[in-house]
Structures are given as C-alpha cells and as structure tokens.
Amino acid sequence: MEKTEKLGNLRHTLAHLLASAIGEIYKFDKIKLTLGPAIDNGFYYDIDFCGEKMTDADLKKIEDKMRKNLPKWTEWEHKEISKDEALEFFKNEYKAELINEIALRGEKITTYTCGGFTDLCRGGHLAHPSKEIDPDSFKLDRVAGAYWRGDEKNKMLTRIYGLAFETKEELDAYLTQREEAEKRDHRKLGQELDIFIFDDDVGPGLPLWLPNGAVIIEELEKLAKETEEKAGYVRVRTPHIAKESMYKKSGHLPYYADSMYSPMDCEGENYYLKAMNCPHHHKIFAARPKSYRDLPLRLAEYGTVYRYEKSGELFGLMRVRSLSMNDAHIYCSEKQFANEFRAVNEMYLKYFKIFGVEKYIMRFSTHDPKELGKKYVDEPELWLKTEKMVRDVLIESKIPYVEVPNEAAFYGPKIDVQVWSAIGKEFTLATNQVDFAVPKRFDLTFTNKEGKAETPLCIHRAPLGTHERFIGFLIEHYAGIFPLWLSPVQVKVIPVRTNHNEYAKQIFELLKENNIRAELDDSDENLGTKVRDAKNKKMPYWIVIGDKEIEAKKVTLESRLPAQAGDAGQLGQISKEELVAKLVAEVKIKI
C-alpha cells in the first residue's frame, strides 16, 4: 500500500472512531450522524446535534474518548445489506438520503463495523486500527458549521475537524508550520503593514491598495516590463468592457458565463466587464496583415480584469473579483511553438530565483475525450497533438511536472504553476496555456513562406499571475519582511533630538535624489519609540542621526533582524557616499 493511500485510510478510520466517540458521549439516539471523509491533513465528521450545543471546549473529552476506545478497534467486519435493511438500521434522514442515492445508482450498500460501531461506508480503512494508529498522532482541531451536502438551502450541521498523521513527529511538525503560517497570514500582515484594505462600500473581493501596496505593485510591474522587453514583447492596452458578440465569438460565452459579471445594456446591446484579455489581443493581432516574418508576436498587457467569484469563495488577495493580470499572448507558428513555450517556462525559473522560490512543480492539465463538445472544443486530433507538444517541451527541459486529466482550458492544454513558500505552504501562482481553437474563431492568419494563409497557435501566459494573488503569496513567503528592492519604505531616517532634524533632512533628501524610498521621522518621540516603529513595520534599514554623526558628517546605519544582505544589527558609521552606493547596489541586484 502506498504511503498516500495508507494515510488516507488512517484518516478515514479516525473519522469513524470520532463518530463512535461522539455517539457514546452524546447518545446515539439523541443525535444524527451523517458522514465523515478523510481530507488533506486529517478528517471530519458532520453531525446534527438536534439542538445540543457543541463548542471547541468539548473537543478534549471527545478526543480522550477516542484514545480510550482505540485499543478495542482490532479489526473490521464488512457486510453487504439491502436498501430496506439499511433504511431500517440507519434511522435518520441524512443516512436515508445517501442510501437511496446509492441504490438509485445500482451500487452495493455496505456497512463497516469496528469496536462495536457500525457505519454506512464504502471502505478504505486500516485493517487493524489498534495496532496501526499511534494514539499521539491525531488531534481534534476545531468545530465549525457546515450545511448538509454543502448546500446552503439545507440544515446547518456541526462539523468536527481532526488532524492526523502517521507519527506524532509529523503531527507536531504540521502544527508548528501552521502556527508560523498564521503569523504570516497575508490578510493580517496586509493590514498591519498598510498594504491593502477591503471596504464594504466598495464591495467584497475588490481590494483598495494603500500607498505601500501601490509601491509593491509598481516594482513588480517594472520588473515584469523590463524582463519582457528583453524577451521581445511589445506592450498593448485594451478597454475594460466589450460587446457580448466578441465573447460569443471567442467561446467564453457560454463556457465562462458563470465567472463573468452580468451584462450592461448600452443602446440596446449587451456589454460585459472584461474577464480576460485574450479576445482583445486577438483583435489587435487581426488589425494588420501578418506574414511569417512578423512571428512570433508577443503582445503583453498589465490589464485589469473582473471575475465574479461567489462570496463564500472570496479569500483575502487569493480570491478576488478585481484582478490586475501580468498577461501576454504569444502568436507563433507550429515550428516556433517549442522555443516559445520553453522560453516562457524559463522566465518562470528566473522569477523563482529572484523571489527565492526553491520548490515548484508544473501542473500539466489535459482534456477528457468524453467531454469534447461540452467542456472542451471538439477537436480531438488537435488536443492530442498540442498535448504532446507541451509534454515534449516539459520532458526536454527537465522541468518537474505532474499530469492532471480533465482540467485543461476549454481551448487547449495548460500548465498551472504550483509553488511552495518559505514555510512549505503550497500556492497556485501562475498559468501557461496553449490555444489552438480561438485564433481560428477570430480568423487569425499569417502568410507562411509558401504564400498561403496559416492559423497561428496562441500561448496565454502570466508568469506573475495577478498582483493580488502574487502579493498575497509574497507577504506570506517573506513574512512581511520584503527584500530591499521591494520594500515600500527602504530606509527610515531618525534624528535623535530636534536639533538633529536639519542634518537628518539633508540625508533624507539625498536618499530621495538617488531614488531610495525613505521616510523621515522627525516626530517628537524618543529614539527607542522611533526605532521600534521601524522594526514593527519591518523596514530593511534605519539611520540614526545624533551629535557624533553630525560632527563626523556621516550616518549610523542599522538593519533589521533577520540579517539584511548578510548584515546584522548595527553596521556602524559610514559616509553619505558609502550609504548611497550600498543601497543602490543592493536594489540593483534585488536582494
């Protein structure tokens, strides 16, 4: 049995053990058990307590009961029963709904019994729980509300979550990582560091970027523009709305309608807020005749798009409704495809190095032939051909990837880039997609060397994803301690007393003249308060100006901890020229 399968069986077994303990404590005839699957990092069980209140404070007694019962869970008894027998045994409406569905599908109705507890189940357990489960390797985590079957029209149940691993050491490591992740939560740090806010009057999922956040956005955009200019991209700009007819032509309507805002009636025609840039870029490609000499054509845009995410799916900067896309579309011939697709992946790797991303994998999504004409455009030969082209590039480039069926874009295969932050938290960061279908819908052609019209392939790519998601990732990755080049305020100038303000202002102006983002703190506060403020705001450097500095015509430079660029704590007195040279050099090499 593979480790992942064994872990899933362990967690599923513990879900049963949890249900059994709850039934004994709260009495089986006074509550209604529903279902409890294994999930990432653990398990849960949904229960209707029928008016009984349940809180996190009750978790310990349930957990103790689970551990007390575990030695009795020696082995499983599996039994196949009829629908009528099942309905008679499980006398609650939740189990009845599941039983009727199983019977309707023509599947076997099975029960599993262990430790004297019987539950409706299709299987997937550890054969001998008492011998195979370390009693210190699981922990009940929290209580939450959950609608039955996830439908808000149904009754709200009580969901009890548990954590489970094969060993106590793995559980402890997970808890430590989670504690660190909570400290790094981008929603918390984003507020504390004045990066972004949300406002009810503006609307959910629509972030407002504060000055510090705007600095980070501009630095990322500058990096992307410099990188793309060197790679031969040209920049375009497109409007925020467009007519319904264009999105029908592209195929986004009806495929993507649920993720688009409702149309606006303008002079009898429907207009939509832009949810993607690609149809606009196709129109730009088509605006002038193209020959093979014009290809590859790489059109780039930092465009804002709007996507309707359900309120329950919104999550800080990770799931929003207004997105600033680091977007581009590459139009190329089939012969040019491999080089262009490879170059996009290499651009990802360059960004990973800059941002210190050490662990990553390309998630290669392919189509399902059964879904052609429904979920995917009905071009079976082109699907197989383009998927092979992508696969060959990944293999040749020796880039780590995993192939995932039935998750492609409707117009072609795609890659989602999965990265892990400094503490091992996984993020979906960006995408790289192949489009063999939509260019044909827009009649996009170029004249090939034989003088014939040929339809180009289109690569959709966004190496930095959106500002929103990427900055959310960076906040958590760096724990708010941004490298110097990306820090909203790079240096804080701190005069010790008011008679030091004039010299401090000279240093402040010198830094600004050299494009260093500086802040002058000439408030009537003591030195300790000013330095503490610089540390709390996670500024890379601060400069203390006192009598000695004025007399020597120098500055005392101090850095935050952990070390900035190999420095730690007070760096001592340096000249103004040395200060500027040091900071400019560090910004340039992005450390």
Q: What phi-psi label fits residue 128: left (phi over 0), alpha (psi between -120 and 50 degrees) or beta?
A: beta
Q: Could you tell me how far CA 177 lies from the centroid of its own chain?
A: 17
Contact (Cβ atoms closer than 8 angstroms) between residue 363 and residue 409:
no
What's the DSSP call for residue 51? T
Q: Detail the DSSP E strand segments found in 148-296.
A: 156-164, 196-197, 208-209, 234-235, 241-243, 264-266, 269-273
Q: Show the tokens assigned to 180.
A: 């660190």
d(CA 232, CA 294): 12
3-state SS, 5-39, equals: HHHHHHHHHHHHHHHHHHHHHHCCCCCEECCCCEE
Contact (Cβ atoms closer than 8 angstroms) between residue 557 and residue 571:
yes
Q: Could you tell me how far CA 76 lies from the centroid of its own chain?
A: 39
Which CA distances in Å does 524 have to 118, 251, 538, 544?
A: 71, 62, 21, 15
d(CA 440, CA 282): 10
Residue whose token pair is 């009649």: 443
Residue whose token pair is 């020597």: 552
Q: Show the tokens assigned to 226.
A: 């410099």
Phi/psi of residue 210, each to 5°? -80, 170
d(CA 391, CA 193): 42
Q: Report angle CA 481, 357, 165 to the nearest 5 degrees.
A: 95
Contact (Cβ atoms closer than 8 angstroms) between residue 367 and residue 387:
yes
β partners of residue 140: 162
Q: Report angle CA 318, 190, 537 to the nearest 5 degrees.
A: 150
Residue 329 is labelled as binding a ligand: yes
Instruction: Provide the residue type at 388 as one letter.
Output: K
Phi/psi of residue 361, each to 5°? -155, 145
Which residue from 476, 475, 507 is spatially nearest to 491, judged by alpha carbons?
507
Residue 278 is labelled as binding a ligand: yes
Residue whose token pair is 């569905």: 101
Residue 280 is labelled as binding a ligand: no
> Is residue 488 helix, strand or coil?
coil
Which CA distances in Å does 589 have to 39, 262, 274, 541?
A: 43, 46, 36, 17
d(CA 386, CA 394): 13
Q: Show the tokens assigned to 345.
A: 């992946």
Contact (Cβ atoms closer than 8 angstroms) between residue 273 and residue 241:
yes
> Is residue 72 helix, strand or coil?
helix
List binding-site positions. Answer: 278, 329, 460
Per the annotation, binding residues for Zn(2+) are: 278, 329, 460
